[in-house]
Amino acid sequence: MSDIAPTTFRPATDEAPLFRVVLTLVVLTVLVLLLFAPLVAVFYEALREGLVTAVVSLAEPEALAAIRLTLTVAAIAVPLNAVFGVAAAWFITKYDFRGKAFLITLIDLPFSVSPVVVGLCVVLTFGANTWIGSIMVDAGYPVVFALPGIVLASMIVTFPFVARELIPVMIEQGRAEEEAALTLGASGWRIFRTVTLPNIRWALLYGVLLCNARAMGEFGAVAVVSGKIRGQTATMPITIEMLYNEYLSVAAFALAAVLALLAFLTLGLKTFLEIRHADALAASRRH
Amino acid sequence: MQIEIDEISKLFGTTAALNPVSLAIPSGALVALLGPSGSGKTTLLRILGGLEFPTSGRVVFDGQDATGLSVQDRRAGFVFQSYALFRHMTVFDNIAYGLNARPRASRPTKAEIARRVTKLLDLIQLPEIGARYPSQLSGGQRQRVALARALAIEPRMLLLDEPFGALDAKVRKELRQGLRDIHDSTGLTTVFVTHDQEEAMELADLVVVMSMGRIEQIGKPQDIRARPATPFVREFISA
């Protein structure tokens, strides 16, 4: 045996060492140039005149109003989209009907349409000179240039995230467990709560986090519907742009840093939950 | 429980999964629905369990029309082809699911549920596995847990869809006897679907041979062997 023991064999899926090094370097370069460097730059610019100046600029009423507005919009849009996303995924995966492929395409539409167009659509549908818009204005709840319009635009743009995450998972899982629960006498709501929801919870969490990140960061659609009224309808991204255009770079970058931190918070939360529930996660994937 | 299937047909769109079929199953019998894939045997089983509803015809349980009865009200213990165990629950919680799902008024106490689950785990001869998850079980163990889960609701009948389909030959033989024993000790009317003629002949009291949405022959295993009613039956059982 020992005379045929060349040790140069390597697994068929392995690449040549040089190629591996080159590949790694390419990936690292791209990561540094496109992700880390810009992020570091944001924080560097924000803290250029010291932490105190940055914090003071955030304490301006305009900045505080922007933070409050962005968090409010996310707090309304994300839960609603989570509910709609689950409902859409449930409908698409648990029932057979004609036009299913068309419906899936329709759900994806916000991904392929420019957010600015989405914003314009909202203005054209709910603006003060339209039928619905005039009714809302008369009732004292204007949609465009106000909170409802911003929430609406954010919801349209972020609508696909939850459904897109859920549909493949729910297709893969099929209907067997739900049917089993049915034969065991469980009601529809109970089945959803005890069987469907636990099985999709990770996909749902990813969807919600992505949806949240995008809802807080949305610029184009909100820029059109909000009217950019300072301290009232200007969200964080809008305010950042306005401050930047006025050469108030410390204020702009300080606010941008807060937005980036909110994104880190989201990612951190995701990682924390993954580590904490690693066992359950592994168990549900191995089956 | 006695089951009567009266001129049941089922259309999926325009294709007929079942042409009108009729069948009477005596109380306490162990019946095999035998046929190749696409013969309509699983559709018939799902109609009995209330997971599908027939396009026409009637299902009668103990002389009472049950055609429109909901799945939940049928109390049919159903074992699915790939067992469909709840993957995020322990074996104990899987088996207890049906009891926990009962309306509060008829739900047993926690202690009573624990007692019954323990008893069922003994019945399937796996007393130690209550705390495990389905992914940690072998195929044969999963099948027996699925059986215990179905029995926990004190079903009026037991319906099994290819209960041995996902198992290797050796385990299959062992579990055949297991099913026979459970059937004999509970006395439940039991219907199982299979494409394996040997399995049907060895295990069942009554074999229903199906093909293309029709029943070709109903009879005791030895009668079907001795006198196949159609060329299809002759060919299928000699395979």
Secondary structure percentages of chain A, helix, strand, coil, to 5: 80, 0, 20
CA distance linking residue B182 with residue B152, whole number of Å: 13
Tens-digit pLDDT profile for residues B144-192: 999 999 999 999 999 999 999 878 888 888 899 999 999 999 999 999 9
**What CA–CA distance (Å, rounded) separates B131 from B2?**
37
Q: Are A162 and A81 in contact (CB under 8 A)?
A: yes
Contact B87 A199 (CB under 8 A): yes
- Other beta carbons within 10 Å of A12: 5
Give the pLDDT of residue B14. 87
Question: What 3-state DSSP class applies to B217?
Answer: strand
Q: How do beta strands B64-65 and B56-61 pair?
A: antiparallel
Helices A61-94 & A100-112 angle (0-180, nearest 10): 160
Handedness of CA A136, A137, A139, A141 (dihedral sign): positive
Token digits for A49? 């005149």
Comparing alpha-carbon positions, the chain A residue that sits nearest to B73 is: A185
B2 touches chain A (CB under 8 A): no
For residues B47 and B213, the answer to whether their CB atoms sit within 8 Å is no
- The conformation of residue B196, written as its DSSP 8-state character, comes to -
Handedness of CA B26, B27, B30, B36 (dihedral sign): positive
- Look up the ipTM and state it: 0.92
Question: How buried is A38 (Cβ within 10 angstroms: 0-12 exposed, 13-18 middle, 19+ buried)?
Answer: exposed
The verdict on B106 touching A (C-beta cutoff 8 Å) is: no
Q: Is-contact A128 A134, C-beta < 8 A?
A: yes
Q: Any alpha helices (H) in A127-219, and if so which ranges? A: 131-138, 147-158, 160-173, 176-183, 188-191, 197-217
Torsion of CA A59, A60, A62, A68, to 10 degrees: 10
**Residue B234 to chain A, least CA–CA distance (Å):** 34
Measured between CA atoms, how close is A173 to chain B, in angstroms? 10
* H or E element, residue B194: strand B189-194
Joined together, the tokens standing for residue B51 give 């997971």
Preferred mutation among A169, A184, A190, A195 to probe B, highest tally of B CBs within 10 A: A184
Quick one: average pLDDT of A227-238?
Answer: 91
Contacting residues of B for A194, CB less than 8 Å apart: 86, 97
Q: What is the pLDDT of residues B6-63, one digit of tens each?
A: 999 999 988 899 999 999 999 999 999 999 998 999 999 999 999 999 999 999 999 9
Residue bearing the bigger pLDDT, B188 or A275: B188
Distance from CA of A174 to the nearest CA of B (A): 10
Residue type, A32: V
Q: Is the pTM of this model over 0.90?
A: no
- pLDDT the model gives residue A7: 62
Find the closest chain A residue to B107 by CA distance.
A185
Among B12, B42, B53, B71, pick the best mutation site for testing chain A contact (most A Cβ within 10 A): B71
Q: What is the pLDDT of residue A286?
A: 43
> Per-residue DSSP letters for B108-143?
PPHHHHHHHHHHHHHHTT-TT-TTS-GGGS-HHHHH
Residues from chain B contacting residue A280 (CB–CB below 8 Å): 88
Residues in B touching A180 (Cβ below 8 Å): 78, 80, 84-86, 149
Residues in A closer than 8 angstroms to B85, CB to CB, are 177, 180
Interchain CB contact of B77 with A (< 8 Å): yes
Write the residue in A183, A190, A199 that is nearest to B78 by C-beta. Answer: A183
Amino acid A287: pLDDT: 41
Q: CA torsion, points B80, B84, B89, B90, in degrees to nearest 10?
A: 50
Task: Choose among B130, B135, B106: nearest CA to B117.
Answer: B130
User: How far is residue B86's CA from residue B76's CA, in Å, rounded to a whole number?
Assistant: 18
Element (H, E) at B238: helix B231-238
Does residue A5 register a pLDDT over 70? no
> What confidence score (pLDDT) does residue B174 get?
85
* The predicted structure's pLDDT at residue A273: 79
Measure the CA–CA gap between A48 and A103, rounded to whole angstroms: 50
Chain A residues touching residue B97 (CB < 8 angstroms): 181, 184, 186, 194
Q: In 10 A of CB B219, how many CB atoms?
A: 17
Which pLDDT score is estimated for A246?
93
Q: Compute the nearest-CA separation of B1 from chain A (Å).
A: 17
Question: According to the model, what pLDDT value does residue B167 have?
Answer: 86
Per-residue pLDDT band for A275 (boundaries 50, 70, 90) equals confident
Query: What percent of chain A is predicted at pLDDT more than 70?
Result: 93
Q: How far is A174 from A188, CA to CA, in rounded Å? A: 16
Mean pLDDT of chain B: 94
Could you tell me the pLDDT band of residue A281, with boundaries at 50, 70 and 90? Answer: low
B135 touches chain A (CB under 8 A): yes
Task: Provide the pLDDT for residue B32.
Answer: 96
SS3 content of chain B, % helix, strand, coil (to 5): 40, 25, 35
**Closest residue in chain A to residue B98, using alpha carbons only:** A184
The shortest CB-CB distance from A198 to any of B71, B76, B88 is to B88
**Residue pair B100/B110 in contact by the 8 Å Cβ criterion:** no
| Interface contact B133, partner A, CB < 8 A | yes
Q: At B210, phi and psi to the nearest 5?
A: -125, 150
Q: Encode pLDDT of B125-152 as tens digits.
A: 999 999 999 999 999 999 999 999 999 9
**Which tokens sit at A283?**
């168990």
| pLDDT above 80: residue A225 | yes
